[in-house]
Amino acid sequence: MAIISGTPTSYTRPGVTVNLNINDSSTGSNEFLVLVMGNATSGTTMYGKTGPYLFTTLDQLATDFGKTSDIYTIIEQYQLTDSSTSLYAINLIATNESTSTVSNGNIKSITANLNSTASASDPAGTGITATGGSGTGATFDVTSTPSASKFLPASVAINNPGTGYKVGDTLTITGVGTLTVATVDETTITGVTDDVLMEQTLATVGDIEFDLVIGTLSSAAAIQGWQTYAEKTWSATSELYGIYITAKQAASANAFITAAGDFTSADKTVVFPCPMSLSPARLIGQAAAEIATRTQISPSLPLRSWALGIGVVPLAERMPQSVLDTLFANGYSTISYDRAGNPTIQRTRIAATLSSTGDAINDTSLETPFQSAYAAKYFRTQLTPYTSSPHILVDDGLETPSIYMTSPSAVKGTMVHAYQDLVDLGVCTDIKSFTASLAVEKDTQVIGRLNIQASGTLTWGLNQIALNLSLSK
């Protein structure tokens, strides 16, 4: 059997739940929006400022953020492919810097419990190593006093404070006794970790429904900060908006695999492995532009197989397909290379390999969240008129001569019509099952609320053709 495949893998049926709460304050936008995160260059207009900034021209961006900023590089590359999508930029700045105390674990003082039994050998000396404790490298100077042709340890002083020790560590010097670490060095620093930086910066955005958020900040803390922020915003929890696109740069496959531990449960993040010869900012900008362009054509189109055009990768940095498959299994979207070293986005996926509860994820395709967000936006658009203008909810079967009256069956009809539109657009399939499962009922507990239960099926992108061909003569 021949497998004709855009990607050397199979895809399982996605399962995504979208929850909408449509009321008189529903103001969501159907526009596709992209947010670029980074740092403005010192001396520019936006240096030291944060909050969403609407991109207009590259010349203005150079003035406001600086031509050498990562924001400028990302947007410059993005615009080569997609010049129509609305772009916003935001400066990564902590709005509330914290103060913390850190230590290198250098021993500052000790409490000595010296042996009281004299020994025949003199324990005195300088730079004597002790065993035990959390750190390494500590040495001590020991003095002694003679006692009836033998020697007793008299004192112990720090020679080298070592590193990595903790208060309470117990060290031992043979023939001398035990030493307890009483104090270690401490330094007070002001600043924030990447997760706090990400959360505090994004908090200034409000709840603008960005479909893509892109940036070079890719540490474990940064990705977790994004996840924490995204999971608690209305749009992210209800309609699955917001995918963070970033890149990890490393010199070897092993280094990439080690770094994959940073995002094992990052279900709202996409991570590309960036070779040392390419710019992470340009890779991110180009990848995001390709994803945004194809998704806006149709959210159901497979997100793969794009030439990047951002440089040539030397032979030593190119990875064979077996390694790319391993990276993909570890959560990376993969990049392949032709014989000349031109990079191509081979496959994309969400970075998560496990759910937040540690379960395996059976659908990692990047199209699924975009399809779900598109469907959610479409249903919201169709249902919002029922709450944005005054309506009276009446029983099914009652004639509704007034434009101000509506019924559960009328709303059900709107739902079926909207789903048929999504079928026609290639986003969903199987309207028969959708209609059969659709339930629209008045809430018996909350006055004025209509409850809708529906189950639909997303379409699949074509990624493989299995050909079983028998030829004879």
Strand arrangement of the beta sheet that strand 86-91 belongs to: 53-54, 86-91, 33-38, 212-214, 243-249, 269-274
Q: Are residues 179 and 274 in the same domain?
A: no
| Chain segment 146-167, per-residue pLDDT in tens | 887 888 899 999 999 999 999 9
CB-based contacts of 367, cutoff 8 Å, min separation 6: 299, 300, 301, 302, 303, 461
Q: Are residues 280 and 304 in the same domain?
A: yes
Write out the residue range of the structural domain in which residue 332 sits: 31-97+192-358
Q: Please check whether residue 20 lies inside any domain of the structure.
A: no
Q: Are residues 209 and 268 in the same domain?
A: yes
Final residue belonging to a domain, choices 358, 376, 411: 358
Q: Are residues 221 and 343 in the same domain?
A: yes
Q: Are residues 143 and 267 in the same domain?
A: no
Distance CA 400, CA 403 (A): 7
Q: Are residues 79 and 214 in the same domain?
A: yes
Which string of b and e fits 18-29 if b means at least 16 CB within 10 Å? bebebeeeeebe
Q: Are residues 42 and 66 in the same domain?
A: yes
Distance CA 35, CA 87 (A): 6
Q: Please check whether residue 1 lies inside any domain of the structure.
A: no
CATH of the domain at 273: 3.40.1190
Which string of b and e fits 395-412 if b means at least 16 CB within 10 Å? eeeeeeeeeeebbbebbb
Q: Are residues 337 and 261 in the same domain?
A: yes
Residue (of 317, 295, 314) closest to 304 by Cα position: 295
Q: Are residues 66 and 157 in the same domain?
A: no
Helix runs in 2-112, H state only:
58-65, 70-79
Q: Please check whether residue 56 lies inside any domain of the structure.
A: yes
Q: Please check whether residue 15 lies inside any domain of the structure.
A: no
In terms of Cβ atoms closer than 10 Å to its own Cβ (0-12, 13-18, 19+), residue 389 is exposed
What single string gives the DSSP state of each residue in 234-289? HHHHHH---EEEEEEE-SSHHHHHHHGGGGTT-TTEEEEEE-TTS-HHHHHHHHHH
Q: Please check whether residue 23 lies inside any domain of the structure.
A: no
| Distance in Å from the first CA to the final CA of the chain | 19
Output the pLDDT for position 208: 75
Q: Report the domain count for the chain.
A: 3
Q: Are residues 351 and 219 in the same domain?
A: yes
Output the pLDDT for position 3: 40
Q: Please check whether residue 3 lies inside any domain of the structure.
A: no
Q: Are residues 61 and 156 in the same domain?
A: no
Q: Please check whether residue 466 lies inside any domain of the structure.
A: no
Output the pLDDT for position 4: 42
Residues of the chain with pLDDT under 50: 1-14, 25-26
| Chain segment 405-460, per-residue pLDDT in tens | 888 999 999 999 999 999 999 999 999 999 999 999 998 898 888 999 999 999 99
Q: Please check whether residue 364 lies inside any domain of the structure.
A: no
Q: Are residues 128 and 259 in the same domain?
A: no
